[in-house]
Amino acid sequence: MTSQRIVQCTPDRHAAPILDIFNEAIRTSTAIYEYEPRTAEWMIGWFEDKRRGNYPVIGIEDASGELLGFATYGVFRARPAYKYTVEHSVYVHTQHRGKGVGRALLKEVIDHARAQDYHVLVGGIDLSNQVSIALHERFGFTHAGTVRQAAYKFGRWLDLALYQLILDTPTHPVDG
């Protein structure tokens, strides 16, 4: 990752490149179980949700400031007892896959979650995405189950594999 740097993404600087990465994944892959491209207006709400929840949007830029990929996490389930669990996402621009960007982003997401006293990271990964599954397993994520035929895209049923990493935080969890 020479001449690349980790950045905290901002709406002004990063909304457009994140939108491009999202929409490429929607159009060409099963990384996102959606049909329609997202809009610039949608990105405003997305960044606001991240800000409101105090969830990071972590990016990696090259020396010229181009965003190579990003990662984030957010609500796993919107009930109080799930407050120590978050669902994360890692997306790498198609031209920068296989170069360590995803690995660096996943490490940053884990570090941020630990620093914010979360206990479990959950990733929902299309079962056919063996590259992402292997990456998560290298970081200690374990298979927590598969929802068979959870979605339908590109004329076929898709299986959603859930992977989790249990962290050593928080030191003193509390109810309520």
Q: How confident is the model at residue 114 (pLDDT cuts 50, 70, 90)?
A: very high
Bond into 37 cis (ω within 30): no
- Copy the structure tokens of residue 3: 């001449």
Contacts of 95 (CB under 8 A, 6+ apart): none
74-102 burial code (b ≥16 CB/10 A, e <16): eebeeeeeebbbbbbbbbbbeebeeeebb
pLDDT computed for residue 2 by the predictor = 63
- Copy the structure tokens of residue 127: 């079962």
Is 163 strand, coil or helix?
strand
- Tens of pLDDT along 8-60? 999 999 999 999 999 999 999 999 999 999 999 999 999 999 999 999 999 99
Query: CATH top-level class for 5-166?
Result: alpha beta
In total, the chain counts a number of residues equal to: 176
* pTM for the predicted model, two decimal places: 0.95
pLDDT computed for residue 54 by the predictor = 98
pLDDT computed for residue 93 by the predictor = 97
Per-domain residue ranges of the chain: 5-166
Contacts of 158 (CB under 8 A, 6+ apart): 30, 33, 126, 127, 128, 149, 150, 151, 152
- Tens of pLDDT along 118-171? 999 999 999 999 999 999 999 999 999 999 999 999 999 999 999 999 999 999
pLDDT computed for residue 161 by the predictor = 98
